[in-house]
């Protein structure tokens, strides 16, 4: 309850911005760019939504349900793009496909004067980059949903005469729906909040208007009003999905499964391997090689003790935030499950913050902490005869709370999706056998929820490591992270020097992904 | 859960033995007093060497956080009287002007600063002072453009002869906002809007995300001219000396607006209104305006020194001497919002 209230605080602050009349800014934006921005945003959301759904579900189904050469490798490798920050892929893609990049330069070398350079910074490229970076959300969530699906149901469907395609459409896909929707919502919320990637392509979206109002027109109030409009749309979309889901239940048997993977015949198996390899190449290997190329060109002088301090801070903050956020998400999910259906909406509100542009949420949180420091802690310090100084702002604790609020949606998705698969009968049976609350949690829920919790922890850990705006604004003195270093270099246009920290970020991000995979496959 | 814990705790435990952060170590070595606290929109690699030298010379420790200007300013405002910050360092006149306007900076009466920083490069009330100057000038393809015959001013780039030959960076970058703001200061909104519309009509390609891409596009033959900050040019030419690119200083000849000089922007700093150690903060600011620090600033980012007694570096001199626009940079701050709206109206993205 407290967690939800805390998560809602920045949103309430946003709404308070409507006290001020900013109609001149609105009139200006409406007259000059808002129609284009809305159109661009719509294109981006639809494109990314369709893209991540198709790609994420297809890949998850292939690796979870079928057997083809290299499946074991792709099973975990396809999650790796998660560790690549979106703007890094954007910049690497531009570096490769731009007219000064190797591809177009060699084309010109081949064709000579007849070759016309192509400006690749179009809508297609923006959507493609976002899809390649964000599909792992859908992939990871639907993969664990497919893996958890009861083979009894699938076998029953086959016996009743459904073909392979029929089973997929009528049984497997609908059963995985909560997980798929959770993944797609995460991807879309991140798309709406993104500023860095679209800026690389000079593609203006609604978020561009938010930043323009704040940074260029010096009007934080107008920016907050724009951001709250954005949130309204997200809330409506999420509510719509919940409504259309109706009263369907997604409870499944959790009997140990003896899964018989579908053995793909020769040409199809080859196509599946090639497809997975292509995606991996585009989304992970090519940006990695580009970063490596830059990092080697720049030399490794930066690898000193300060550099390892960055690494340490990154891991400490990421680990603490992952642990806290998953615990909070689990608590929320339990409370939400017990709450009356009409109250459940309240819990969903707490996760809306993920759709806010990072800087806007960070400032909202900063204002909350500053308010607490000023109105609660400073008088307290005064009463105790201490020098009043900000305690929350610029403390590790506040930063972890900020991460928790920002990434609650990320953790809630997998946790809730896996909780929905557990019916009431098992906990009830255990309770009737005398299991008390903690025993129930420890011996029933946690083992059954483990894949979901692991997914949530990895997602949060990797996201926190990549996070910039909140880290920048709320970090204690000296607590720079790898993402901070990447920001400092890229904002000065020094992409070559940003390559080493970015590369480290990707490599370090791999560790939890791989570890979690080991854990989740060990149980099977 | 038992299996989940190691995933999270292993990194925590491995790194759990946290020694004191470096800032504190420095502070402990340097002095028993509280360190000076700086909020900086200039990035660590451009300020840390300076602070290290300052601490070496004076024994005053400096701790800092970096972020972009908007969030730092919001934090200063939110913290109010209890802010730990003693100094704000930021780039661009618009941001400094805004900081002064919302009252987070404190005016300083310092003969050293008024000598070292020319009047048009500081706040009229001496709340902030420029530290470095960056010129924003014209870059052209030296194999396709005859500068003497074709180039003259920023305004001339809006004329029809440049149709399909101009590349620009996005108007969302503050450098372009400042440039247009000083154009408004020189010749009014009406004439400026006509020029900016001309630029948009002449664009060979959609505006770019950064100055380097503008120059790469010119080098690749996509367009013939662009507008960039000199230090980006310096950086690119150092990496790829073979590129056929050269700089041109616009608005050098003629009367009034036409000959007002090349546009310059600044990075600068001010002491915060609620600093508890204003005297020491002022000491740091004065130190930054003196010759040794100014030399370091130039070397770190290839920007020109604000202190008129400090000569440019040899490679910067090779770009030629130029007349800089002498308009007060605070004007660029005052007119920035107008400039942004004007560029929006002209369709400059």
Do B97 and B230 contact (CB within 8 A), yes or no?
no
| B86 — pLDDT class (breaks 50, 70, 90) | very high
Average pLDDT in the B4-20 region? 41
Q: B22 — contact with chain A (CB < 8 Å)?
A: yes
Q: Which of B10, B28, B71 to probe by mutation at the A interface, max A CB count within 10 Å?
A: B71
Q: Is residue A260 part of a domain?
A: no
CA angle B324, B329, B333 (to 5 degrees): 140
Q: In chain B, where does the domain assigned CATH 3.40.190.10 lie? A: 33-133+265-311, 135-263+317-346
User: Which residues is B227 bridged to in the sheet?
Assistant: B138
A208–B172 C-beta distance less than 8 A: yes
Q: Residue written as tokens 């690389």?
A: A200
| A105 — pLDDT class (breaks 50, 70, 90) | confident
Domain ranges, residue A395: 2-112+121-245+266-292+303-522
pLDDT tens track for A302-343: 777 778 888 999 999 999 999 999 999 988 888 888 777 777
Q: Which residues numbered 445-484 in A keep a CB inside 8 Å of some CB on B?
A: 446, 450, 453-454, 457-458, 461, 469, 472-473, 475-480, 484
Query: What integer pLDDT is reported at residue B23 of this predicted model?
Result: 43
Topology annotation, domain B135-263+317-346: D-Maltodextrin-Binding Protein; domain 2 (3.40.190)
Residues of chain A contacting residue B70, judged by C-beta atoms under 8 Å apart: 214-215, 220, 359
B349–A204 C-beta distance less than 8 A: yes
Q: Which has more confidence, B30 or A208?
A: A208
Q: Is residue A29 part of a domain?
A: yes
Q: B326 — contact with chain A (CB < 8 Å)?
A: no
| B331 — pLDDT class (breaks 50, 70, 90) | very high
* Phi, psi torsion values for B225, nearest 5 degrees: -135, 160
The whole-angstrom separation of Cα B11 and Cα A316 is 7
Q: Which residues numbered 338-397 in A keep a CB inside 8 Å of some CB on B?
A: 359, 362-363, 366-367, 370-371, 373-374, 378, 388-390, 393-394
Distance of residue B254 Cα from the nearest chain A Cα, in angstroms? 32
Residues near A216 by beta carbon (within 8 Å), at least 6 away in sequence: B172, B174, B177, B336, B337, B340
Q: A117 — contact with chain B (CB < 8 Å)?
A: yes
* Helix or strand holding residue B246 (H, E): strand B245-248
Using alpha carbons, select from A85, A76, A121 the residue that is nearest to residue A291: A85
B210–A493 C-beta distance less than 8 A: yes
Q: Is residue A297 part of a domain?
A: no
Q: B56 — contact with chain A (CB < 8 Å)?
A: no
Q: Is residue A367 part of a domain?
A: yes
Residues of chain A contacting residue B209, judged by C-beta atoms under 8 Å apart: 199-202
Using alpha carbons, select from A272, A278, A229, A239 the residue that is nearest to residue A81: A278
How many CB atoms within 10 Å of residue A318? 28
Average pLDDT in the A26-40 region? 90
A322–B8 C-beta distance less than 8 A: yes
B174–A315 C-beta distance less than 8 A: no
Q: Is residue A251 part of a domain?
A: no
The whole-angstrom separation of Cα A187 and Cα A185 is 5
Residues of chain B contacting residue A472, judged by C-beta atoms under 8 Å apart: 65-68, 71
Using alpha carbons, select from B23, B53, B48, B47 the residue that is nearest to residue B35: B23
Q: A36 — contact with chain B (CB < 8 Å)?
A: no
B43–A477 C-beta distance less than 8 A: no
Q: Does the structure show a pLDDT above 70 at A522?
A: no
Residues of chain A contacting residue B18, judged by C-beta atoms under 8 Å apart: 312, 316
Q: Is residue A175 part of a domain?
A: yes
B210–A473 C-beta distance less than 8 A: no
User: Which residues is B133 bridged to in the sheet?
Assistant: B266, B304
pLDDT tens track for A349-392: 777 878 888 888 888 888 888 888 888 888 888 888 776 677 78
Q: B15 — contact with chain A (CB < 8 Å)?
A: yes
The whole-angstrom separation of Cα B233 and Cα B219 is 12
CA distances from B14 to A60, A468, A483 (A): 33, 24, 21
- Which of A315, A374, A477 comes nearest B65 by C-beta? A477
Query: What integer pLDDT is reported at residue A255 of this predicted model?
Result: 56
Say which range, A52-56, A91-95, A491-495, has the weakest mean pLDDT.
A491-495
Query: What integer pLDDT is reported at residue A382 of this predicted model?
Result: 80
Q: B45 — contact with chain A (CB < 8 Å)?
A: yes
Distance of residue A434 Cα from the nearest chain B Cα, in angstroms? 22
Do B275 and B107 contact (CB within 8 A), yes or no?
no
Give the mean pLDDT of chain B.
Answer: 89
- Which of A217, A315, A484 comes nearest B337 by C-beta? A217
The whole-angstrom separation of Cα B6 and Cα A517 is 13
Is residue B270 helix, strand or coil? strand
Q: What is Dmax (Cα atoms) for chain B?
A: 79
Query: What integer pLDDT is reported at residue B324 of this predicted model?
Result: 94
Residues of chain B contacting residue A9, judged by C-beta atoms under 8 Å apart: none
The whole-angstrom separation of Cα A45 and Cα A177 is 19
Do A177 and A413 contact (CB within 8 A), yes or no?
no
Query: What integer pLDDT is reported at residue A390 of this predicted model?
Result: 76
Region of A218 on the Ramachandran plot (φ > 0 left; ψ -120 to 50 alpha; else beta): left
Q: A100 — contact with chain B (CB < 8 Å)?
A: yes
Q: B21 — contact with chain A (CB < 8 Å)?
A: yes
Q: Does the structure show a pLDDT above 50 at B13?
A: no
Percent pLDDT > 70 in chain A is 94
Q: Which residues numbered 240-299 in B keep a CB inside 8 Å of some CB on A?
A: none
Distance of residue A159 Cα from the nearest chain B Cα, in angstroms? 37
Query: What integer pLDDT is reported at residue A375 of this predicted model?
Result: 82
Q: Which residue of B has its CA nearest to A451?
A: B4
Region of B188 on the Ramachandran plot (φ > 0 left; ψ -120 to 50 alpha; else beta): left
- Which of A208, A359, A512 comes nearest B71 by C-beta? A359
Give the mean pLDDT of chain A.
Answer: 84
Q: Is residue A250 part of a domain?
A: no
- Which of B82, B84, B206 comes nearest A378 by C-beta? B82
A202–B206 C-beta distance less than 8 A: yes
- Predicted model pTM: 0.88
pLDDT tens track for A117-134: 777 788 899 999 999 999
CA angle B277, B279, B280 (to 5 degrees): 70
* Residue A251 per-residue DSSP state: -
Written as six digits, the tokens of A369 are 């902490």
Count chain A–chain B contacts defined by CB atoms under 8 A. 183
What's the total number of domains in chain A? 1
**DSSP assignment of A151-206, as one string?**
HHHHHHHHHTT--HHHHIIIIIHHHTHHHHHHHHHHHHHHHHH--HHHHHTT---H
Q: Which residue of A has its CA nearest to B76?
A: A370
Is residue A1 helix, strand or coil? coil
Q: Please say whether the structural domain B33-133+265-311 has been given the CATH code 3.10.450.50.
A: no
Q: A87 — contact with chain B (CB < 8 Å)?
A: no
Q: B17 — contact with chain A (CB < 8 Å)?
A: no
The whole-angstrom separation of Cα B62 and Cα B23 is 8
Query: What integer pLDDT is reported at residue B32 of this predicted model?
Result: 55
A469–B172 C-beta distance less than 8 A: no
Q: Is residue A255 part of a domain?
A: no
A473–B71 C-beta distance less than 8 A: yes
Q: Does the structure show a pLDDT above 50 at B349?
A: yes
A216–B172 C-beta distance less than 8 A: yes
Residues near A429 by beta carbon (within 8 Å), at least 6 away in sequence: none
Using alpha carbons, select from A496, A484, A380, A463 the residue that is nearest to residue A193: A463
pLDDT tens track for A136-179: 999 988 988 888 777 777 778 888 888 778 888 888 888 888 88
Q: Which residues numbered 78-97 in B keep a CB inside 8 Å of some CB on A?
A: 78-80, 82-84, 94
Do B148 and B306 contact (CB within 8 A), yes or no?
no
The whole-angstrom separation of Cα A455 and Cα A450 is 8
pLDDT tens track for B182-205: 999 999 999 999 999 999 999 999
A378–B84 C-beta distance less than 8 A: no
Distance of residue B112 Cα from the nearest chain A Cα, in angstroms? 30
Burial class (CB in 10 A: 0-12, 13-18, 19+), B226: buried
Residues of chain A contacting residue B65, judged by C-beta atoms under 8 Å apart: 394, 472, 475, 477
Residues of chain A contacting residue B205, judged by C-beta atoms under 8 Å apart: 119
- Which of B44, B177, B349 comes nearest A488 by C-beta? B44
- Which of B6, B15, B212 comes nearest A493 by C-beta? B212
- Which of A117, A457, A484 comes nearest B7 by C-beta? A457
The whole-angstrom separation of Cα A370 and Cα A357 is 20
Could you tell me the CATH number of the domain that includes residue A72?
1.10.3720.10
CA distances from A327 to A4, A333, A410, A446, A456 (A): 13, 10, 13, 11, 10
The whole-angstrom separation of Cα B67 and Cα A297 is 27
Is residue B105 helix, strand or coil? strand
* Strand B105-106 to B263-272 pairing: antiparallel
B184-216 burial, b at 16+ Cβ within 10 Å, e below that, comes to bbbbebeebbebbbbbbbbbbbebbbbbbbbbb
* Helix or strand holding residue A377 (H, E): none
B1–A319 C-beta distance less than 8 A: no
């Amino acid at each position: 309850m407290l967690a939800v209230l805390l998560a809602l605080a920045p949103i309430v602050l946003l709404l308070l911005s409507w006290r001020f009349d900013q109609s001149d800014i609105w009139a200006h934006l409406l007259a000059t760019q808002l129609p284009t921005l809305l159109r661009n945003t719509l294109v981006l959301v639809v494109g990314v939504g369709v893209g991540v759904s198709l790609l994420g579900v297809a890949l998850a189904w292939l690796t979870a349900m079928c057997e083809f050469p290299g499946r074991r490798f792709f099973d975990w490798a396809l999650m790796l793009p998660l560790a690549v920050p979106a703007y890094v892929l954007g910049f690497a893609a531009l570096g490769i496909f731009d007219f000064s990049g190797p591809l177009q330069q060699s084309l010109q070398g081949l064709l000579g004067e007849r070759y016309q350079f192509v400006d690749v910074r179009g809508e297609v490229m923006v959507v493609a980059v976002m899809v390649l970076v964000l599909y792992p959300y859908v992939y990871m969530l639907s993969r664990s949903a497919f893996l958890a699906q009861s083979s009894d149901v699938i076998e029953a469907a086959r016996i009743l005469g459904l073909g392979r395609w029929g089973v997929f459409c009528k049984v497997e896909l609908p059963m995985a729906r909560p997980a798929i929707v959770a993944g797609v919502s995460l991807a879309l919320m991140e798309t709406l909040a993104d500023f860095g990637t679209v800026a690389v392509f000079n593609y203006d979206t609604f978020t561009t208007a938010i930043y323009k109002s704040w940074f260029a027109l010096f009007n934080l109030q107008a920016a907050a009003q724009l951001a709250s409009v954005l949130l309204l749309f997200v809330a409506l979309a999420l509510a719509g999905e919940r409504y259309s889901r109706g009263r369907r239940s997604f409870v499944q048997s959790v009997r140990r499964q003896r899964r018989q993977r579908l053995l793909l015949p020769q040409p199809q198996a080859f196509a599946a391997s090639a497809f997975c390899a292509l995606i991996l190449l585009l989304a992970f290997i090519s940006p990695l090689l580009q970063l490596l190329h830059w990092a080697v060109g720049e030399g490794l002088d930066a690898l000193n003790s300060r550099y390892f301090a960055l690494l340490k801070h990154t891991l400490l903050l990421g680990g603490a935030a992952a642990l806290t956020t998953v615990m909070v998400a689990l608590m929320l999910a339990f409370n939400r499950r017990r709450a009356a259906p009409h109250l459940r909406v309240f819990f969903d509100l707490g996760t809306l913050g993920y759709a806010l542009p990072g800087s806007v949420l960070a400032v909202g949180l900063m204002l909350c902490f500053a308010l607490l420091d000023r109105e609660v802690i400073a008088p307290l310090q005064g009463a105790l005869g201490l020098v009043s100084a900000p305690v929350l702002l610029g403390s590790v604790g506040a930063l972890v709370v900020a991460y928790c609020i920002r990434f609650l949606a990320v953790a809630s998705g997998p946790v809730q999706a896996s909780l929905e698969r557990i019916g009431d009968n098992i906990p009830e049976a255990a309770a009737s056998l005398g299991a008390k609350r903690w025993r129930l949690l420890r011996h029933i829920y946690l083992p059954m929820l483990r894949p979901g919790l692991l997914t949530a922890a990895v997602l949060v850990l990797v996201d926190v490591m990549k996070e910039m705006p909140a880290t920048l604004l709320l970090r204690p003195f000296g607590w720079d992270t790898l993402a901070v270093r990447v920001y400092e270099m890229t904002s000065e246009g020094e992409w070559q020097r940003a390559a080493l920290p970015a590369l480290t970020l990707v490599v370090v991000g791999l560790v939890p992904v791989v570890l979690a995979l080991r854990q989740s496959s060990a149980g099977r | 859960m038992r299996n989940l814990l190691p995933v999270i705790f292993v990194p925590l435990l491995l790194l759990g033995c946290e020694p004191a952060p470096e800032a504190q170590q420095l502070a402990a070595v340097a002095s028993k007093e509280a360190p000076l606290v700086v909020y900086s929109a200039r990035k660590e690699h451009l300020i840390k060497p300076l602070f290290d030298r300052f601490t070496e010379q004076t024994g005053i420790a400096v701790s800092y956080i970096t972020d972009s200007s908007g969030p730092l300013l919001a934090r200063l405002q939110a913290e109010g009287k209890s802010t730990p910050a003693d100094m704000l360092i930021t780039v661009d006149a618009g941001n400094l002007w805004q900081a002064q306007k919302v009252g987070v900076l404190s005016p300083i009466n310092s003969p050293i600063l008024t000598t070292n920083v020319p009047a048009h490069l500081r706040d009229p009330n001496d709340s902030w002072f420029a530290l470095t100057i960056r010129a924003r000038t014209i870059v052209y393809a030296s194999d396709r453009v005859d500068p003497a015959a074709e180039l003259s001013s920023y305004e001339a780039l809006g004329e029809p002869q440049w149709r399909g030959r101009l590349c620009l960076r996005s108007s969302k970058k503050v450098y372009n906002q400042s440039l247009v703001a000083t154009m408004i200061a020189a010749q009014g909104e009406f004439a400026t809007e006509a020029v900016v519309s001309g630029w948009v009509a002449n664009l060979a390609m959609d505006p770019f995300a950064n100055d380097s891409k503008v120059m790469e596009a010119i080098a690749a033959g996509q367009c013939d001219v662009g507008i960039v900050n000199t230090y980006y040019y310096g950086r690119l030419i150092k990496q790829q000396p073979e590129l056929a690119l050269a700089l041109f200083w616009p608005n050098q000849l003629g009367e009034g607006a036409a000959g007002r000089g090349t546009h310059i922007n600044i990075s600068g700093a001010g002491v915060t209104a609620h600093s508890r150690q204003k005297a020491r903060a002022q000491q740091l600011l004065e130190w930054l305006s003196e010759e040794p620090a100014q030399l370091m600033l130039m070397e770190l980012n290839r920007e020109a020194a604000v202190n008129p007694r400090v000569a440019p570096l040899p490679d910067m001199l090779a770009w030629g001497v130029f007349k800089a626009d002498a308009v007060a940079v605070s004007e660029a701050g005052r007119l920035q919002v107008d400039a942004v709206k004007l560029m929006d109206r002209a369709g400059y993205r």
